[in-house]
Structures are given as structure tokens and as C-alpha cells.
Amino acid sequence: MIIFDLICGDGQHRFEGWFGSSKDYAEQQARGLLDCPVCGSNNVAKAAMAPNLGRKGNQKPTTRPTDKRPEPEMGKPVSSTSTVLAEYQEMIGKLAKAQEKMLANSEWVGNKFADRARDIHYGDADEKPIHGTASPEEVDDLAEEGIAALPLPLPVFPPESKN
């Protein structure tokens, strides 16, 4: 008596076949006498001897759980300061909006700020908000004359440069 692992070529069903000898198997196979107990197919052949056949239940894991830990990602620089940077950028954004709002009704006078501020201060021009650029010396002079020149938190781009 000999037992072969058989497989049907139609459904890949595996089953055992009992034969008097391997010659018996060959004859029955050649004459199409073998049929699959699952689907009845006559397309039956000896299954390749699979050493891991039936090992599904007690199969050793090929990888230990610790092997499945993903490799640390490379090439992505991170820093704890990134959150600070994000806050900073958000703050600058808010500041820029606030400044924009503040200057919405203000006239850009470029580097004539000191002159215009003096004109307004001494009543030679209508009082209105202006903004422009002034050198530290000009700011000092204005301060001595009691004219406020508040530094803006952010640089202002002259309107003509926006085109």
C-alpha cells in the first residue's frame, strides 16, 4: 500500500490516494480513473511534495514580532523648534495683518516721512496718518521736536514696488 498526495488541476483540491504501488497510480492516472473527491475532476496528479504541507497550524513564524518594527525613517530632519517656528510664522502672519489694517488709511510717504511728519506737526499739512521710512537720526530729531515716529513691527514695501 502506498499513499500519494494528489491534487486536482481544476480546483487545486488536495487529497490522498491509496494505491497498491506507484505503478498502480501511474496506470489509474493514465486511464483517467482518478477523480477529485471534492469536484469530481479527472485532472488529477501527484501533488508536489510540499514539505510545509499541513503546517499551517503549527507553523513557526518566519519573522519574530520584533523584526516587524519599521525601520526609522531617514533623511527627514526634525527639530523640537519646528513648533516654535510655526508659532512664530503664525504670529508674524497676524502681525502683518494687523499692520496692514493699521496702515489701510495711512498714506505712504516713502523717505519723506520726517518732512511730512513735521508739516503735519506744525500745521503746514492736514493731520492724517502717514508712514514711510526715516533714518535713525531723523527719528531722533523728530523725537526731540515731540513728534512721534513709531517703528513699525514689519518692513513695509512701498506701494510702487508691489507691481
CA atoms within 13 A on the CB side of 149: 26
Q: How far is the CB of 34 from Zn ion (least distance, A)?
A: 11
Q: Could you give the CA distance from residue 39 to residue 7 in angstroms, rounded to a whole number?
A: 11
Q: Considering beta carbons, is residue 41 or 99 the nearer one to Zn ion? A: 41
Which run of H or E residues covers position 82? Answer: helix 81-102
Q: How far is the CB of 48 from Zn ion (least distance, A)?
A: 16
Q: How far is the CB of 50 from Zn ion (least distance, A)?
A: 17
Q: Considering beta carbons, is residue 42 or 99 the nearer one to Zn ion? A: 42
By three-state DSSP, how is residue 15 classified? strand
Q: How far is the CB of 47 from Zn ion (least distance, A)?
A: 12
Give contact residues for Zn ion (rule: CB under 5 A): 8, 11, 13, 36, 38-39, 41
Q: Could you give the CA distance from residue 143 to residue 11 in angstroms, rounded to a whole number?
A: 96
Say which residues have a Cβ less than 8 Å from residue 79's Cβ, sequence separation at least 6: none
Q: Which three cell numbers stand for residue 158?
A: 512701498
Q: Considering beta carbons, is residue 11 or 20 the nearer one to Zn ion? A: 11
Beta bridge partners of 130: 107
CA atoms within 13 A on the CB side of 66: 0
Q: Considering beta carbons, is residue 15 or 108 the nearer one to Zn ion? A: 15
Q: Considering beta carbons, is residue 9 or 153 the nearer one to Zn ion? A: 9
Q: How far is the CB of 33 from Zn ion (least distance, A)?
A: 15
